[in-house]
Amino acid sequence: MTNLKRLATSAILGAATFAYAGTALAQTELSFWSWRQEDVKAYNQIIAAFEEQNPDISVTFTAHEAKSYNTILTTALAGGAGPDIMHTRSYGSLEAIAAPGYLEPLDGQIDLSALSADELLGTTLRADGHVYAVPFASQTALVFYNKDLFEKHNVDVPATWEEFKAAADAFKQNNVNPLANGIADGWTAEVMAGALMPNFYGKEFFGEVTSGSADFEDPRFVGALEKIAELKDYMPTGYEGVDYATMKQLFIAGQAAMFVGGSFEIPGFVESGVNFDIMPAPAAKAGDERMVATWLDGGYGVNASSENKEAALKFIQFTATQPFAQMLSDKLANVPAVDGAVIADPMLAKVSAFHAEASPYIMLVGFRFNTPTGSTLLQNGLQELLTGKKTAAEVAKDVSDGIKSAK
Amino acid sequence: MSTLTEENYKSASVRRKRLRQLWIAFLLFPAVTILATFVFLPMISAIWYSVYEWDGLVRGDFVGLANFAEVLFNPQSNKFLFNAFFNNVKVFVTLMIVQNGLALALALLLAREPKGYRFYQVVFFLPVILSTVIIGFQWKLFLNPIFGLVNTFLRMVELDSWALPWLGLPETALGSMLIVNAWHWVGFPTLVFLAAIHRIPKDLIEAARLDGASEWNIARDIIWPLMAPAVTIIVVLTFIGSFNWFEIPYIMGGLEGSPAYSTDMLGLLFYRTAFGSVSAGNSDFGTGSALAVLIFIFIFTFSTIATRYLTSREVELS
């Protein structure tokens, strides 16, 4: 009898264990890597929404240090230890991991109809034409300005380059730094030039220079660089040594009237409490186009050798839908790449509206596929230009020669 | 003492000798394993990697010495190599003069045991034990053109025209970093030199002094030749350190040797080439490894020659 009882108990226990193990087996665990350390909380909320709809899948979000993310990711993928899902960068950096076959091609497996062709270009491998990631958000290079300082010193918000310089002179006379920008960190110099130059070199230049019918020694590009050189007078004293952190500090503390930067600064500036607004870079002259420079920040990709590919694709499909885009806009203050989100944040809505007149952020979109990249060439060229080491024409020649020799 | 152990050895059985050898092998094992895994293996794999073409992290075809040719002879890449190499040479020369020169002066002063010399000994050595990362960040803040301590001080004493953006100008960036490095490390050669001076028998110096030699003559003709072994060590270490210089320029100037490659070093160039960066481009293990092999060959050859030469001129104290 006791034996029978024991047998029954162990049978029940065994069945229960089996059942428990069964549910555990059904639960697919996905790892998700990113460089967005500041977004961990928001991503966990977005993931929770996904898990609610897909109770059999759980996603663990891990954010790595942004600067070394590319290295960490490529090393892990090469070693076969990559995550199931990952934040990829766009353009050249995407190709670095898509070309060796680390990423699963998504077209045909994922409905990408809510994305525009322009945006998909940022996550398409040029060699085979397949899409390897779902684009997530675009960034925009534009001009931030401190509303309080403009009001206090009775300066009109500029619309043209002449007005921009007049406004800057007015601030200078009042001992306010017209611009917060410095050039110690090369990439901030690239963003500054990237925001301001398109209105000088015009709408057609990007297409011509990427197709090869024009080069960087083109008078339009040299002319745009000459305008950037004029900024020397409006940047803070010692701007050669002003780094990214100092730039932000100057603008937030109300010590500089304008800040040329990327739309990714918006959440930080909002949080700091500085009373600011945004505008596209000034037009070359009255009546000319006022473009912003835009680029795709990155996308979500699937590891081609993931053991949980089906679940991973399910998650990636989720990132290509309107509800996801809505959360991205609401929780992360991003202008989502996926169509259909209602942008509630007024500042973000403004950025989105600027996209009506936009030009690609030239070096990232067009020239980060080979070495040396256009970004490296331009960043160092700008440092040479703005420290007076070289003229605009010399810098343009260096950039042009570098691009032509790149491989 | 030594004769005693020798006798012990002679009388000891072969078995005991074996046991001792085994014991030595056992003690050496961890060190050899670590050295093999983390030093020799990466070195050999770098040589191996350097003769292949790489697409990012995927190995392609065998290309022989093509990567070396690319690094050395392609004008678009060798201009970076020569620029970085020349900067490393500047680092070596400057550190030899400024850092080691100062260290020698400090050691000579401390050796005369002035009042409170033990306190100064500790003070000079203190920065050595701090992390380079902390020092790099701290000095980057000190040298900030607007909020930094250095320029605030210069403005306070009305030297406004001296308040330069130290790390932002191609003319001053490398110099500023070298001063930071000297501040960080000066305690180490000081200590080595001081120990070497203490090793010199006092009566030698006393005798010279009685014979009427000046302090300068004592330093030049007695102390300097007799501390040659310490000089050898410091020169070779400075040489290796200068050509491997990475942390301070990376933290204070970034991966691109900002501004405009004026602080670019062989180490930074290697890292950028092999691992890539967000703006510098994608990783290329082939040329990166070729670069690493070239750097290694250069440092190995020259430090060996330097050691040979410097050791040959050392004076033995007997």
ipTM comes to 0.81
> pLDDT of A249-286, one tens digit each?
999 999 999 999 999 899 889 989 999 999 999 999 99
- pLDDT at residue A315 tops 90: yes
Flag if A241 and B144 touch (Cβ within 8 Å): yes
**Cα atoms in the 13 Å half-sphere on the side-chain side of B272:** 26
Tens place of pLDDT per residue across chain B (318 aa): 445 555 555 666 788 888 999 999 999 999 999 999 988 998 899 999 999 988 766 788 999 999 999 899 988 888 999 999 999 999 999 999 999 999 999 999 999 888 988 999 999 999 999 999 999 999 999 999 999 999 999 999 999 889 999 999 999 999 999 999 999 999 999 999 999 999 999 898 899 989 988 988 988 888 988 999 999 999 999 999 999 999 999 999 988 898 989 999 999 999 988 887 777 777 788 999 999 999 999 999 999 999 999 888 776 654
- pLDDT at residue A293 tops 70: yes
Contact between A134 and A110 under an 8 Å Cβ cutoff? The reply is: yes
Q: In which band, very low, low, confident or very high, does the pLDDT at A65 lie, cut at 50, 70 and 90?
A: confident
Taking CB atoms and an 8 Å cutoff, what residues of chain B touch A185? 254, 258
Q: In which band, very low, low, confident or very high, does the pLDDT at A4 lie, cut at 50, 70 and 90?
A: low
By the CB < 8 Å criterion, does A388 face chain B?
no
Mutate to test the interface with B, among A243, A264, A362, A367 (most CBs of B within 10 A): A243
- Report residue A97 as tokens: 């991991």
pTM of the predicted structure, to 2 decimals: 0.84
* Eight-state DSSP code of residue B13: -
Looking at the partner chain, which of B57, B168, B256 has a beta carbon nearest the beta carbon of A75? B57
CA–CA distance, A299 with A315 (Å, rounded to integer):
13
Flag if A376 and B281 touch (Cβ within 8 Å): yes
Buried b (16+ CB within 10 A) or exposed e, A171-186: beeeebbbbbbbbbbb
Instruction: Extract long-range pairs of B220-229: CB within 8 Å, 24+ residues apart.
Output: B223/B108, B223/B111, B223/B197, B225/B315, B226/B196, B226/B199, B226/B200, B226/B315, B226/B317, B227/B193, B227/B196, B227/B197, B227/B199, B227/B200, B228/B310, B228/B313, B228/B314, B228/B315, B229/B196, B229/B311, B229/B314
Interface of B with A (CB under 8 A): 55-58, 76, 140, 143-147, 151, 163-170, 254, 256, 258-261, 275-284
By the CB < 8 Å criterion, does A400 face chain B?
no
Flag if B145 and A238 touch (Cβ within 8 Å): yes
CA–CA distance, A204 with A220 (Å, rounded to integer):
10
Residue B187 has a CB neighbour count (10 Å cut-off) of: 20
Q: Which residues contact B309 (CB under 8 A, 6 or more apart)?
A: none
Buried b (16+ CB within 10 A) or exposed e, B277-301: bbbbbbbbbbbbbbbbbbbeeebee
- Tell me which residues of chain A, numbers 178 to 217, contact chain B at a CB-CB cutoff of 8 Å: 182-187, 190
What values do phi and psi take at B111, rounded to 5? -65, -25
Mutate to test the interface with B, among A237, A295, A398, A399 (most CBs of B within 10 A): A237
Nearest to B245 by CA among B253, B297, A199: B253
Q: Is the Cα torsion angle B229, B233, B238, B243 positive or negative in sign?
A: positive
Higher local confidence (pLDDT), B123 or A5: B123
Mutate to test the interface with B, among A376, A378, A391 (most CBs of B within 10 A): A376
SS3 B316: coil
**Minimal-distance CA residue of chain B relative to A242:** B145
Flag if A241 and B143 touch (Cβ within 8 Å): yes
- Report residue A353 as tokens: 């509206």
Task: Specify which residues A302 forms β-bridges with.
Answer: A85
Chain B: give the shortest CA distance to residue A56, in Å.
Answer: 34
Q: Per-residue pLDDT averaged across A116-141, rounded?
A: 91
- pLDDT at residue A25 tops 60: no
The size of the A-B interface in CB pairs under 8 A is 131
**Minimal-distance CA residue of chain B relative to A189:** B259
Mutate to test the interface with B, among A72, A74, A297 (most CBs of B within 10 A): A74
**Minimal-distance CA residue of chain B relative to A239:** B165
Q: Which domains does chain A have, with CATH numbers?
A: 28-136+297-320 (3.40.190.10), 139-295+351-405 (3.40.190.10)
Taking CB atoms and an 8 Å cutoff, what residues of chain B touch A380? 256, 260-261
**Minimal-distance CA residue of chain B relative to A243:** B144
> pLDDT of A194-253, one tens digit each?
999 999 999 999 999 999 999 999 999 999 999 999 999 999 999 999 999 999 999 999
By the CB < 8 Å criterion, does A254 face chain B?
no
User: pLDDT over 70 for what percent of chain A?
Assistant: 94
Taking CB atoms and an 8 Å cutoff, what residues of chain A touch B166? 241
Percent helix, strand, coil in chain A, to 5, is 50, 15, 30
- Report residue B193 as tokens: 């030199």
Give yes or no for a cis peptide into B259 (omega within 30° of 0).
yes
Flag if B276 and A380 touch (Cβ within 8 Å): no
Taking CB atoms and an 8 Å cutoff, what residues of chain A touch B76? 372, 401-402, 405
Nearest to A375 by CA among B255, B207, B226, B209: B255
SS3 B201: coil
Pure H helices in A274-360: 309-319, 322-332, 346-354
Flag if B258 and A246 touch (Cβ within 8 Å): no
Chain B: give the shortest CA distance to residue A100, in Å.
Answer: 7
Contact between A355 and A140 under an 8 Å Cβ cutoff? The reply is: yes
Flag if A77 and B254 touch (Cβ within 8 Å): no
pLDDT of residue A23: 47
- pLDDT at residue A170 tops 50: yes
Looking at the partner chain, which of A95, A100, A238 has a beta carbon nearest the beta carbon of B146? A238
Q: Which residues contact A74 (CB under 8 A, 6 or more apart)?
A: A96, A97, A102, B56, B57, B283
Provide the residue count of chain B: 318
